[in-house]
Structure formats: structure tokens, C-alpha cells
Structure 1
Amino acid sequence: MNAANARIVSFDDEPLILVDSDDNVTGHMPKAEAHVGEGVLHRAFSIFLFNDAGDVLMQQRADEKMLWGGFWSNSVCSHPRRGEAVADAARRRLSEEIDVDADVHFLYKFEYHAQFGEIGAEHEMCSVFFARSNAPVAGNPTEIADFAFMPPDALDAALIDEPARYTPWLKMEWPRIRADHWDRIAATIAA
């Protein structure tokens, strides 16, 4: 981890963009409030960062995270800010979390709900992106406990062999990426 990258980039009172199931804005709510109980539907995004070898960056979420702290997940995930386009937020967050500047490519959007015991839930309209970079990664320790690049086949196997180690959104997103979007990602990596 890079201590120089250890700035706080996510705040409990940060207003999230609330939406309906058609992704129409319905209001705003502080992040902490939007995740308690069963959660309130809000905009979010997930990014899968690949290097030129085709490996995907996985991050272990910081233990201090309210939901799924210590679990392994995709490269970067977060929320756009009020008035911010989702793709712009995704690029911003690549820099804030892993110190990488890269173009993001939209894959698909989906709604999901995942309950984390009695602590709270994710209820998100999540846009899924991928990016490619060979730049050195410097994980922000306020967000990330650890990170590692993983070959796609190894992630396929890990999600079958040890699913309890991984976040629920990763377990939904990765199989769909492999089934519906892998050719596009592979072509971008090979270019």
C-alpha cells in the first residue's frame, strides 16, 4: 500500500443519487443512510481493470468498510456524486482508489440487492465498466486492505471453490462479463 495515496475519498455523509428501477433520479441521501436496513436504490458503478497480460485486478476491501469489509471484490467500485456522470465518476475513482489513470468502457447496467446481515445492504443501479492499464497500482489504504492481479480462469475457479470470500456484486458481475462481454474485453486487451 502507498501511504502517499492514503487520503480519505469516501464520506458517510456524501450524498448518493437515489434512482428508481428505470434509473430516473428520485432524490439524494447520505451514503450511510442509503445502506442501512434493506438499503435505498442508488446509482453505483463497478470497474474491472485488466493489464496487458489479461489479468484482472482484485481488491480486498478495507476492514473498516460498513459492508463486506475484508471481502475480495473487483478492481474498484463506488458511487457517482451529485451532478457527476457515471463514467466520469468511474475515472475519478480509479485515480482515488488505485492511483491509475485510464479510460473506462461501459459494458452494462443492472439493479441488484444484497443484504449484509442486520448491518445493512447494497441496493444499487450499478453500471459495469472495464479498463486496461499497465501502470503501477498504489492501493489507497482507506479503501483497500490488499490487491492482486489474477488470471481470469483463476477467478472463475475461485468463485466456485471459495465464494464466501467474495462480494455479492462480484459474484453477479463476473459470470455475466465472461458469458456476454468477454470477446470485447479480450479484443481491447489484445489491441
Structure 2
Amino acid sequence: MKRDSDQIFDELLVIRCREKDEEAIGLLWNRWQPRILKWSYDFLKDQELAGEIAQESWISIFKGIGQLKDPALFRFWAYRIVQRRSADYIRQQQKEREVNQELQKELKEEDESGTANHDRIEQMLRSIRALPEMQQQILRLFYMEKYSVREISVMMELPEGTVKSRLFHARQLLKQKLQEVNHE
């Protein structure tokens, strides 16, 4: 395999990054950030989200660069990290959608039956009140106030990914608490 001067320079930067050379870290980031960001965007089709995944990927890259045996393989290794991070996010979103669809289905079935059970509503409210305050707020803003994830993100000064993650965990915890109550 013939190497060009750019690849040789990247290999040198990787070697210097292993030695914790701050200048090399900055140069490697500057050279590769546009490619990492584009690779992430190609998977996610969302610029803001791609930026978050790229940032998380860089953390993994710099933490693990000492483990990379062959500096010539940096590009493949870095792209693989971005690909895995993107795939993990996509899987998380799919799980969140499934839980959301399940909750919506349950609510729809309840509405269709016309017999909204007062005790069940009270159980739900008690279960929600038993959640940590942050999770109560996220659920309230999303379901009761009908704010989007983006709007909640701005209000709470959190990244959208963090809001989505907290919403997912709040749903999971609520579901668990409701199952506990129903099995007593």
C-alpha cells in the first residue's frame, strides 16, 4: 500500500498524540474533525446530532489512541468509533420509539374503551410523583405541556441528546414503577 504525505503526517500526529503532545492533538483534531463530522452526519442525517456524536467519538478516540497498534490504521479505527457511536444512538432511538408507541397504544386503548379507571389514573399520578424531580419535569414538559425535545433542551439548558436520554429513562422508570404497583 502506497502512502501519501497526508497519511504519513497523520501517522506522525497519532504517534505524537500517544505521547500526550497537545499541539499534535490539536492538529489531528483540526485535520480530522470535518471528516468525523461528515461521517457521523451520513449516518444520522441531523447536523446538530452529528456534532454531538462527533464530540463523543473524539473523547473515545483520544482516550484510546494509545491502544491503537498501527498508526497507519488511524482513519479506519476513527471511522469505526464514529460508526459504533452512531449505531448506538440509532438503537437507543428505536428503543425509545418502541416504548413511546407502547405508551401511546395503552393510552389510546384506554380512551377507546371509554372507561378511564380512576384508580389507574391515581396509580399513574402516584408513580409519577415517586420519580426524581428531574424526571417528573421532563415527563410533564413533554406530555402535559406538549413541548418538543428541542424546546425542553433550550429551557433546561441541556443538549437535546441528554433530554432524549432523560425522557427515555423517565419512561422506563415510570413503566417499572407501574408494573411493581400492578403486581402487588
Considering the TM-score relative to the shorter chain, is it more than 0.5?
no
Q: Which has the higher strand share?
A: 1
**TM-score, normalised on structure 2?**
0.26
Larger radius of gyration: 2
Between Structure 1 and Structure 2, which shows a larger proportion of helix residues?
A: 2
Q: Which has the higher contact order (CA 8 A, sep 6+)?
A: 1
